[in-house]
Amino acid sequence: MADLETLTLPVLPLTNDVVLPHMVVTLALETDEARAAADAAARADDTLLLVPRQADGRYARVGTIARIENRGNLPGGMSALVIRATTRAEVGVGVIGQTSALWVHVTPLPDGEVNGEVDELATELRAALRALFESLGGRRLTEVLRGVDDPSALADIVGWWPDLAVERKVELLETPELVGRLRLVLGWVKEALAEHELADKIRHDVSEGLEARQREFLLRQQMDAIRKELGEDGGDDLVGGYRERLAKLVEAKALTDDSRKAIEREVDRLERTPEQNTEHGWIRNWLDTVFEIPWGERSVDDYDMERARQVLDEDHTGLDEVKDRIVEMLAVRKLLAERAAESADDDADTDAPDADTPDTDTDTDDSVSDGSVGDADAGERPRPHAVPDVDASGRKPGAILALAGPPGVGKTSLGASVARALGRRFTRVALGGIRDEAEIRGHRRTYVGAQPGRIVRALQEAGTMNPVVLLDEVDKLGADWRGDPSSALLEVLDPAQNHTFRDHYLEVDLDLSDVLFIATANMLEQIPGALLDRLEVIRLDGYTEAEKVVIARDHLFRRQLRRNGLRNDEVDVTDAALGEIVDGYTREAGVRNLERELGKVLRKVATEVAKGSETPIVVDIDDLPNYLGRRRFFDEAADRTVVPGVATGLAVTGVGGDVLFVEATSMPGESGGGLTVTGQLGDVMKESAQIALSYVRSKADALGIEPSAFDGKRFHVHFPAGAIPKDGPSAGVTMTTALVSLLRDTPMRPTVAMTGEVTLSGRVLPIGGVKQKVLAAHRAGLREVILPLRNEPDLDDVPEAVRQEMTFHPVADVSRVLELALEPAPVPETLAA
């Protein structure tokens, strides 16, 4: 069969195995199909075709031509054949033979010639097979390998490999090209060898680790026995180190008795617990955490009030209320320290021996001459003001401030400035998005991966027990099934309780009364009432345009110069340009967008400088379109209110004050009339719209409105910017004015804005957020504000520069609002009851 002529042979299907060329196997004739093929082979010179049958019932496209060497029966009586496989053959079409067996045309497939590449692959495959068979312990396979010289037979020898899947054997059978077959088998052998080596390495590492631990355990047992024989205490360096650190804290009087006992108890447990025990690591972690707390460490407060005010003024422009509060706190602590020092002097004088009695250890003048308070033991001089001051009731003068205001007004950075002014360490705790109560109070030690809460970690980061801790975004705390973090803060932020704060992980008392907590929030309404009651709220309602120009010139400009690699002598932005950026490109309460726009200008300037342009580059108001594009904000009140039915109101949002336009219109509708209110409004604002319409209908005659104007009309009140949720009663007078303007066909004055709650009787009730609303009106170019009469005292919070530029109209009745807001019209001075 050396030629490639087509042969016609009977087919013997193989169900669970594959016979490759050069193999001699015994096949049991278990099926009628197999016995028919064996009988038919007698008519083909005892030659047949072995074809694997795959799982889906299809035959392989390549089979093996085999010659029957012997016929016989197995011990159980079943017929069997001893066959020798010779070569691969491609299966052709089936034909009808002289027997019941399946006959097919087959074409023998040659192996191809042997060249240099085949020799190289065969050599590499032989080495890989030898390594694999030796690692598997297959001595017989290794012996067979020595007698195989033909590369084709070497590739097919893996047919004897018991771990090779049938699918791979079929793939090998269907690869007649010798080079491809060698590469295929070589890849399988390398893969199996790598898996076997990895398994051996894992077994070796596991065995070696077990032996090492057993050896360590035996050695430690022997060491303990030796120490007992020598009479030693059995402690090791680790436990001794913890005891030494504890002794230092006790000597410095930095621990309470309960804390000392708790630490001693854990050190004793560590000494009794072997290292193989899981609790050994837990105890060590707890002790390491406890000793990382700065027990007894306190930074020295700087009571220089003038310097503190200077530091605050250097870092922030405006915010006088906050700065005054910080200076007041310093003044109180300074007076308490001085009074405590005077009391210590009096006590020392009372207990001092007579002048005739020689005693060199009773001179207390040096220990209190600088106003310090502390333990004046002989030979020990306390640090000035390092010990916390207390008032006459024994309560420490703790202060918990809350800075509330829109984003970008400097709440977070103000905390760092306060720490610098006090001479204290500063650390920040971000609370936004926290929903797990354990983030504040820590996890119980029984949990895997337990750790202390953020308050304890803040003390560790600061390194002192009296830092300034900024609780950022306290209004963004959440609550779910894991707990309520805001409730966990109740103890932290209560001066009457936080001197014995207990973290769930540590379970020892921590004194937080010396910590200056500063919380920041955008919306006070989102803070739970119990927590808000513990905070001293200071509002930061934003900056005026003049203050923003100063901030941009003195702070933002220098910072952006450094960030963009520019020097002071390379660029100059005029005050007029800064004012235009404030007024035309940013309308915000803070200065965050202002800094972004200024950075955009300086980046373009940096590009010009890098290209070699002549410096200094001056940026004036006329140059801004080239740097920032067209102006983004305009004073649109005049354009919006030119149509009757539109009124200008004021509102407070999460980002500060804002100008709110209210539009009213009417259309033919049901006979009884009706009202539609749109703009994603809350229930309170919808009720205010109903109140405004009811008031206008009830006072139509007094307002100069024909009663027939309501007949068959349906009214629609709309608040633009419908994507923004709105609620609250302060738009009542604005909606009333819009309806009267519509019905009287009289537009509103374009320079006026208003705010206030309205009642059915026409009274104007007070509202909140006056300062933020006034600043928003000032930013929008409005120069008159109508507000409730009872809110007139709130105008004292408005900056003097804004008050001088604007006119305020405190009113108590809607009639006065209409008189001031609408263009001249015959509106009576008083309304009938």
Find the helix or strand (DSSP H, E) in which 470 lies: strand 468-472
Q: Comparing C-alpha atoms, which of 35, 64, 33 is closest to residue 47?
A: 64
Asked if residue 413 lies in contact with residue 466, where contact means CB atoms within 8 angstroms, the answer is no
pLDDT 10s digits, 5-43:
788 888 888 888 888 888 888 888 888 888 888 888 888
Amino acid letter for position 565: G
Identify the three-state secondary structure at position 617.
Answer: strand
| 3-state secondary structure string across 37-85 | HHHHHHHHCCEEEEEEECCCCCECCEEEEEEEEEEEECCCCCEEEEEEE
Q: Comparing C-alpha atoms, which of 308, 394, 390 is closest to residue 341?
A: 390
pLDDT(413) > 80: yes
Residue 518 pLDDT grade (very low, low, confident, very high; cuts 50, 70, 90):
very high
Neighbours of 231 (CB within 10 A): 7
Average pLDDT over the chain reads 82
For the chain, domains (ranges, CATH) are 7-188 (2.30.130.40), 237-292 (no CATH), 293-346+383-540 (3.40.50.300), 545-628 (1.10.8.60), 637-821 (3.30.230.10)
Which residues participate in catalysis according to the annotation? 730, 773
Across 293-299, average pLDDT: 90
pLDDT(143) > 80: no
Range scoring the smallest mean pLDDT among 432-446, 586-600, 626-640:
626-640
Angle between helices 139-146 and 116-136 (to 10 degrees): 160
Across 443-448, average pLDDT: 86
Give the residue carrying structure tokens 């933002």: 556
Amino acid letter for position 116: G
pLDDT(653) > 90: no
pLDDT 10s digits, 749-769:
989 999 999 999 999 999 988
pLDDT 10s digits, 314-348:
888 877 877 888 888 888 878 887 887 787 776 66
Across 108-116, average pLDDT: 77
pLDDT 10s digits, 691-728:
999 999 888 888 888 877 787 788 899 988 766 777 88
Across 163-184, average pLDDT: 83
Q: Which residues pair with 717 in a beta bridge?
A: 664, 677
pTM over 0.75: no
Find the helix or strand (DSSP H, E) in which 12 lies: strand 7-14
Residue 4 confidence (pLDDT): 60
Range scoring the smallest mean pLDDT among 103-107, 482-486, 608-612:
482-486
pLDDT(394) > 70: no
Question: What is the C-alpha to C-alpha distance for residues 322 and 307, in angstroms, rounded to an integer?
Answer: 16
Residue 141 confidence (pLDDT): 65
